[in-house]
Amino acid sequence: MKTQINSSEGQKDYMRKAKLHKIFISFSRVLVFVGFLALWQTASSLKWIDSFYFSSPYAIAKLFVHDIHDMSLLSHIGVTLIESGISFLLIIIFAVIAASFFWFYPSLGKMFEPFLIVLNSLPKSALAPLIIVWLGTGPRTVILCGMSVGIFGCILNLYQAFEQTDAERLKLIETLGGNKLQKYTKVVFPQNIPTFISLAKVNIGLALVGVIIGEFLAGRQGLGYLIIYGSQVFKLDMVILSIVILCVIAMLLYGILNLLNRKVIARWQ
Amino acid sequence: MKDSRPFLRLKHVTFSYYSVTGETQALEDINFSVQKGSFVVLVGPSGCGKSTILSLISGLIKPVSGDITFYSEDFAAPRIGYMLQHDHLLEWRSVYRNIMLGLEINKIKTAENLAFIDELLEKYHLSNVKDLKPSALSGGMRQRIALIRTLALRPDLLLLDEPFSALDYQTRLSVSKDVYDIIKSEGKTAILVTHDISEAVAMADTVIMLTKPPCSVKGIIPIEFEKYGITRDEVRNSKLFQQYFDEIWGEMKNENTN
Ligand SMILES: Nc1ncnc2c1ncn2[C@@H]1O[C@H](COP(=O)(O)OP(=O)(O)O)[C@@H](O)[C@H]1O
Ligand SMILES: [Mg+2]
């Protein structure tokens, strides 16, 4: 039992200090960001750096407003988001199916485990050219590239988590008259929901990485395509704007999954 | 009048675990029987094969040789409730949904069975915790819930594998008394495993002493407080308790030294 005494002076003092510290941290983060933008803008305005290569916050903002209005930027963002989303969903679906299959048929699991380990330790961008040869350019290739980065690790981790289910808990299901399917549905799967969420957290990022690689090599649309195209025609404002947008997307995705994670963890303890 | 035919009989039961590192002969020659409605306690050193005996009786594993026979009036297979050493309450389910686990698995979530669960919770003063998460419960409370989960399937025979060993001494005394009362008032036949001799004496109608592995039955002692008018609430203070304790202790002390 937690005893809560909110009235004591010591506690009040501590809470005040803790709150101040939190405000200080948030404030200094904003300060770092604004300071960086200001330094960058000043450096490019005063010609300390060449704004042709390094762009400037103002130029990027201007380009953003302009490109948002003619819709082209939005459609590129949309393409990257959709391709990442599809890659991510496919990774998750395949991983759950494969890991579950391996759990139901452990001999199969043992058979495929070493191959998964090898594939997982491969630098995944090495697969991309092969995928292009097989499927040509276009969204299919990009989505497959997106999947190729995370999928092997995801299957492997999920399978290993399933494997580590406490044998006594499985025995409990047996004592209640349950079969293997019920061990899976009542214990193995629900017990690993938190594993699942943390894998999702990692793999949404990996899907984005893979999709950008795919768009570099085989895209005709999307932020990865914009970055490559921009760098080839020396429109570096466009390159940096795309990178900034990627940062924002990554941050938002991370935020969403973190929220989901906290909700699930609260329920699963 | 007491039914003299046993409810369950183990005859020349042997069992071995096989693995790549070799064979472990767990049970050598196990013989005992259990009367309907009785409370049998198995005591023995740890690792002697007590859990193995319960797993055999429950049918989760089959003996290498020997017979395990149930005798019932209607020749129906008996329902067996098996309570493992740890409660294994699933942390993502509420207490109530943990209790329902057995009904879900057997697809018997009937109105009648749900009412039975409510009745058990009510009777043993646990209704107020049914919507909580298991993590909010004390160790003793968790064991009571695990017992209700087992009782929800209305077993004819209850197997209890060191259900109190994870509890501290004070809790252990009160929870073991509660569990005893619940089992007796539900009129269940029970086999409990423990390595705690005083727990065995306090709860048993019959104590079965087991040897160190490979395990066989060393002796069977009927515990007869009722014959001397001593109720189970006061046994621990009686002289007879000390006598039983000393008798079992004397027999078992050779088994604990290797
Ligand atoms: N799954 C298993 N595989 C191999 N040996 C086992 C297994 N389970 C138990 N044993 C061995 O069998 C013996 C009896 O185990 P157990 O019945 O769990 O003893 P107890 O419950 O009395 O502590 C021990 O020596 C133990 O090491
Ligand atoms: Mg044991």
Range scoring the smallest mean pLDDT among A55-69, A147-161, A180-194:
A55-69
Q: Chains A, B: CB contacts under 8 A, how many?
A: 46
Nearest-CA distance from A217 to chain B in Å?
A: 45
Closest in A168, A178, A190 to B88, CB measured: A168
pLDDT at A168: 93
Most confident of the ranges A127-131, B199-203, B253-257: B199-203
Return the H-helix or E-strand segment holding B19. strand B8-19
Please check the confidence at residue B258 and state whether its pLDDT lies above 50. no
Q: How confident is the model at residue A30 (pLDDT cuts 50, 70, 90)?
A: very high
Cβ of residue A268 closer than 8 Å to a chain B Cβ: yes
CATH number of A57-268: 1.10.3720.10
For ligand 1, is residue B140 a contact (CB within 6 Å)? no
Ligand 1: nearest atom to the Cα of B162:
21
Please tell me the distance between residue B51's alpha carbon and the centre of ligand 2 in angstroms: 4
pLDDT at B256: 67
Mean pLDDT of B197-220: 92
What is the overall mean pLDDT for chain A?
Answer: 92
Tens of pLDDT, residue by residue over A139-157, are 999 999 999 999 999 999 9
10 Å Cβ neighbour count for B253? 9
pLDDT at B46: 87
Cβ of residue A187 closer than 8 Å to a chain B Cβ: yes
Ligand 1: nearest atom to the Cα of B46:
23
Tell me the chain A residues in contact with residue B135 when contact means C-beta distances shorter than 8 Å. 269
Domains of chain B: 8-85+158-252 (3.40.50.300)
pLDDT at B214: 87
What is the overall mean pLDDT for chain B?
Answer: 90
Please check the confidence at residue A4 and state whether its pLDDT lies above 70. no
Mean pLDDT of B36-51: 92
Cβ of residue B88 closer than 8 Å to a chain A Cβ: yes
**Cβ-contact A214, A161 below 8 angstroms:** no
Return the H-helix or E-strand segment holding B208. strand B206-210
Cβ of residue B91 closer than 8 Å to a chain A Cβ: yes
Q: Which ipTM value was assigned to this complex?
A: 0.89
Chain-chain contact of B153 with A177 (C-beta, under 8 angstroms): yes
Residue A189 and residue B83: Cα distance in Å, rounded?
Answer: 23
Ligand 1: nearest atom to the Cα of B52:
17
Tens of pLDDT, residue by residue over B103-132, are 999 999 999 999 999 999 998 889 999 999
* Nearest ligand to residue B22 Cα: 1
Tens of pLDDT, residue by residue over A229-253, are 999 999 999 999 999 999 999 999 8
What residue of A is the nearest CA neighbor of B153?
A176
Question: What DSSP letter does each residue of A173-224 carry, written as one string?
Answer: HHHTT--HHHHIIIIIHHHTHHHHHHHHHHHHHHHHHHHHHHHHHH-SSSHH
Percent of chain B with pLDDT over 70: 97
Question: What DSSP letter does each residue of B219-246 carry, written as one string?
Answer: EEEE--TGGGT--TTTGGGSHHHHHHHH
Tens of pLDDT, residue by residue over A72-117, are 899 999 999 999 999 999 999 999 999 999 999 999 999 999 999 9
Q: How confident is the model at residue A167 (pLDDT cuts 50, 70, 90)?
A: very high
Mean pLDDT of A125-138: 88
CA atoms B153, B158, B160, B163: torsion sign: positive
What the block records as the tokens of A186 is 């009542």
Tens of pLDDT, residue by residue over A35-45, are 999 999 999 99
* Nearest ligand to residue A171 Cα: 1
Please check the confidence at residue B191 and state whether its pLDDT lies above 70. yes
* Measured CA angle at B121 (ends A179, B124), to 5 deg: 120
Nearest residue by C-alpha to atom 26 in ligand 1? B47
DSSP state of B137: S
pLDDT at A2: 53
- Residue found by looking up tokens 């017992």 in the block: B147
Q: How confident is the model at residue B1 (pLDDT cuts 50, 70, 90)?
A: very low
Q: How confident is the model at residue B3 (pLDDT cuts 50, 70, 90)?
A: low
Chain-chain contact of B92 with A168 (C-beta, under 8 angstroms): no
Q: What is the pTM of this model?
A: 0.87
pLDDT at B209: 95
- Half-sphere exposure of A38 toward its Cβ, with a 13 Å CA cutoff? 6
Tell me the chain B residues in contact with residue A189 when contact means C-beta distances shorter than 8 Å. none
The domain locations on chain A are 9-49, 57-268
A160 against B4, higher pLDDT: A160
